[in-house]
Amino acid sequence: MTDQVDGRDVMAEFVPASPMVRHLGIRIEALDQDAATLVLPFGEHVTTIGKTVHGGAIATLADTAAMAAAWSGTPAPDSMRGTTVDLTVHYLAPADGTDLVARARVLRRGRSLVHLGVDVSTPAGGPVAHALATYKLG
């Protein structure tokens, strides 16, 4: 096959078109081979109380970053389908009044399952959460 679509191209279109991603304001910073960096801008709509970012918003950022990394740098599957199989989030510190950066990387690729690690931090690098995800392509 000569015109195989790279998963990065799929994610570059899909992520910004996702209603939840748009609602939260998540944006792609980078899509690299087996990696993705996404940003969640701080705003009142992502808080739980005061200026503390809601854990659900953090989990959504981690999940979206894992999905983008799972697709990045691999040929898009014929079915163009995928789903999160598992997501475990460990919250390390509160995020108060700051944007968040999620850096996801592929730990292992199988035939259809991709295992990933995601670090969520402040822009200055302060740790906020760590997630492990399993994503199924195709």
Does residue 82 fall inside a structural domain?
Answer: yes
* Averaged pLDDT of the chain: 94
Q: Is residue 90 a part of any domain in this protein? A: yes
Which residues have a Cβ under 8 Å from the Cβ of 31 and sit 6 or more positions away? 8, 11, 12, 68, 72
Q: Considering only CA atoms, which of 105, 102, 127, 130 is closest in space to residue 116? A: 105
Name the pTM for this structure: 0.94
Rounded average pLDDT over 129-135: 98
Domain membership of residue 64 as a residue range: 7-137
CATH of the domain at 101: 3.10.129.10
Q: How large is the average pLDDT for residues 88-94? A: 98
Q: Calculate mean pLDDT across residues 54-80.
A: 92
The count of domains in the chain is 1
Considering the domain boundaries, does residue 2 fall inside one? no
* Contact in structure between 64 and 84 (CB atoms under 8 Å): no
The pLDDT of residue 1 is 43
- Say if 12 falls within a structural domain: yes
Q: Which amino acid is at 49?
A: I
Question: What was the pLDDT predicted at 5?
Answer: 82
For residue 64, being part of any structural domain is answered with: yes
